[in-house]
């Protein structure tokens, strides 16, 4: 039976690759959209905001319907929307006088799928019988990192080999992954997160739980700690360090994603022997150090190395917060996971925004923005310590 659930867990791993595709493929085509359709970059960059905005909305409203339709139906729908959105990119722009509208519709479709995946993947894995749930959760989230690296690398190879003018073919190829995984989820066993005969906590019960709000803060700071550097590392390398964009992308963005993935795989493999609380606290301290090195040390190679080190430090934050939530509020159910995903996505949006706002206020000084961003891992560190104290009181 456990082997059967291993198939479910593997399908969830692929689900995070799907989310990496829908979040990271279109940004590679921004200049192509500008050149092919005459869309100004000021409008094109709104696609990223719109994508994550839709995902936030889906995080919120999924509380009302996921338990009603069931995890299997919701998971199939998530993959169907993701695949349909990618396929729509290949023809939707030509259906409208303004191609941007067609692209926006396609983004909306796959963003709904991505938002559902964010809500569903963690609780499905959490519910599966496994020897170490924290390790499985960390391994699950590592696949987003590998998906991110794979999308950027394989797309770059495709464009170099066949020309970027053939991007629609690649969009169709990427769409094969969610469509195939959709059929997998019609077969694999899926167990309910809550025991039979019981229901998960409702919103009123969650909102009245003090530890829940602490967990929301942890998720928000986890997302912000991760994305504050991830979203700005390429620009920081180019403007702040005077490094070429190609070198900045490879040595900064790609290395950040790889080390974040390595951190999650490491805990996924050895998590049974590692104390999660100590690992998260150590990661927060390392993250604070990396933020300070990025912003205060004037030597470019050290600053760039600190950007990569930040990827290693943030790896456990998001999956670790999910695992602590499951341990602290075992009856939280779908509503808890949906709201935690919402908090994490808010952090992913708010972190880079704060860094960008401060940088702009300080005359495009990105180092100043990242220095202010050190508040996020610091608050996360305090929250973990408080959460641990609460857990010790309840077990005393």
pLDDT of res. 248: 62
Q: What is the pLDDT of residues 367-392, one digit of tens each?
A: 888 899 999 999 999 999 998 887 66
User: What CATH number corresponds to the domain at position 126?
Assistant: 1.20.1250.20
Domains held by the chain: number: 2
Which domain-ending residue is among 158, 175, 193? Answer: 193
pLDDT of res. 350: 84
Residues 386 and 325 in one domain: yes
Model confidence band, residue 268 (pLDDT cutoffs 50, 70, 90):
confident
Q: Is the pLDDT of residue 131 over 80?
A: no
pLDDT of res. 166: 94
Q: What is the pLDDT of residues 186-227, one digit of tens each?
A: 999 998 766 555 566 888 889 899 899 999 999 999 999 988
pLDDT of res. 239: 64
pLDDT of res. 395: 53
- Environment class of 286 (CB within 10 Å of its CB; exposed 0-12, middle 13-18, buried 19+): middle
Portion of the chain with pLDDT greater than 70, in percent: 90
Which domain-ending residue is among 137, 160, 193? Answer: 193
pLDDT of res. 27: 80
More confident residue, 40 or 182: 182
Q: Is the pLDDT of residue 342 over 60?
A: yes
Residues 164 and 264 in one domain: no
Residues 142 and 204 in one domain: no
Distance, CA of 211 to CA of 202 (rounded, Å): 15
Task: Name all contacts of 291-300 with Cβ < 8 Å and 24+ positions apart.
Answer: 291/229, 291/370, 291/371, 291/373, 291/374, 291/377, 292/371, 292/374, 294/229, 294/236, 294/367, 294/370, 295/367, 295/368, 295/370, 295/371, 295/374, 296/367, 296/371, 300/241, 300/242, 300/243
Which domain-ending residue is among 165, 193, 221? Answer: 193
**Lowest-confidence region among 16-25, 87-96, 226-235:** 226-235
Mean pLDDT throughout 241-262?
Answer: 74
Residues 166 and 221 in one domain: no
Contact 359/374 with Cβ under 8 angstroms? no
Residue 41's nearest CA partner among 30, 50, 49, 27 is 30
Q: Which domain holds residue 32?
A: 1-193
Residue 150's nearest CA partner among 140, 138, 142 is 142
Residues 337 and 214 in one domain: yes
Residues 11 and 106 in one domain: yes
pLDDT of res. 76: 97
Residues 99 and 223 in one domain: no
Straight-line distance from the first to the last Cα atom of the chain, in angstroms, rounded to the nearest whole number: 36
Residues 10 and 87 in one domain: yes
pLDDT of res. 196: 53
Q: Whole-model pTM?
A: 0.83
Residues 183 and 319 in one domain: no
Residues 187 and 209 in one domain: no
Mean pLDDT throughout 295-303?
Answer: 86
Q: Is the pLDDT of residue 277 over 80?
A: yes
Portion of the chain with pLDDT greater than 90, in percent: 43
Residues 74 and 181 in one domain: yes
Distance, CA of 21 to CA of 229 (rounded, Å): 20
Residues 82 and 125 in one domain: yes
Q: Is the pLDDT of residue 141 over 60?
A: yes
């Amino acid at each position: 039976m456990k082997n059967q659930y291993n198939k479910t867990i593997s399908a969830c791993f692929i689900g995070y690759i799907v989310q990496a595709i829908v979040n990271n493929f279109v940004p590679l085509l921004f200049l192509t959209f500008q050149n092919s359709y005459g869309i100004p970059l000021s409008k094109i960059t709104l696609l990223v905001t719109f994508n994550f905005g839709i995902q936030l909305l889906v995080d919120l409203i999924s509380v009302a319907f996921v338990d009603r339709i069931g995890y299997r139906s919701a998971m199939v729908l998530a993959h169907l929307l993701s695949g349909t959105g990618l396929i729509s990119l290949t023809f939707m722009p030509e259906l409208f006088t303004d191609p941007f509208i067609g692209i926006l519709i396609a983004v909306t479709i796959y963003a709904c799928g991505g938002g559902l995946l964010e809500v569903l993947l963690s609780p499905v894995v959490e519910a599966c019988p496994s020897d170490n749930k924290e390790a499985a959760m960390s391994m699950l989230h590592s696949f987003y990192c590998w998906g991110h690296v794979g999308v950027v690398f394989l797309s770059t190879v495709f464009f170099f080999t066949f020309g970027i003018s053939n991007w629609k073919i690649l969009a169709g190829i990427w769409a094969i992954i969610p469509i195939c995984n959709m059929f997998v989820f019609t077969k694999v066993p899926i167990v309910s997160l809550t025991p039979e005969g019981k229901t998960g906590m409702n919103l009123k019960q969650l909102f009245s739980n003090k530890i829940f709000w602490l967990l929301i803060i942890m998720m928000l700071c986890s997302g912000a700690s991760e994305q504050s550097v991830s979203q700005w590392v390429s620009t920081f390398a180019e403007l702040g360090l005077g490094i070429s964009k190609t070198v900045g992308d490879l040595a900064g963005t790609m290395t950040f994603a790889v080390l974040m993935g390595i951190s999650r795989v490491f805990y996924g493999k050895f998590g049974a022997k590692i104390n999660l609380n100590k690992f998260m606290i150590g990661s927060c301290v390392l993250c604070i150090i990396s933020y300070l090195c990025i912003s205060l040390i004037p030597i470019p190679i050290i600053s760039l190395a600190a950007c990569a080190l930040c990827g290693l430090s943030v790896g456990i934050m998001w999956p670790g917060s999910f695992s602590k939530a499951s341990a602290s509020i075992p009856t939280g159910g779908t509503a808890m996971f949906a709201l935690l995903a919402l908090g994490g996505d808010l952090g992913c949006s708010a972190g880079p925004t704060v860094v960008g706002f401060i940088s702009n206020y300080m005359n495009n000084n990105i180092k100043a923005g990242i220095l202010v961003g050190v508040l996020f891992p610091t608050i996360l560190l305090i929250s973990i310590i408080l959460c641990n104290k609460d857990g010790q009181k309840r077990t005393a």
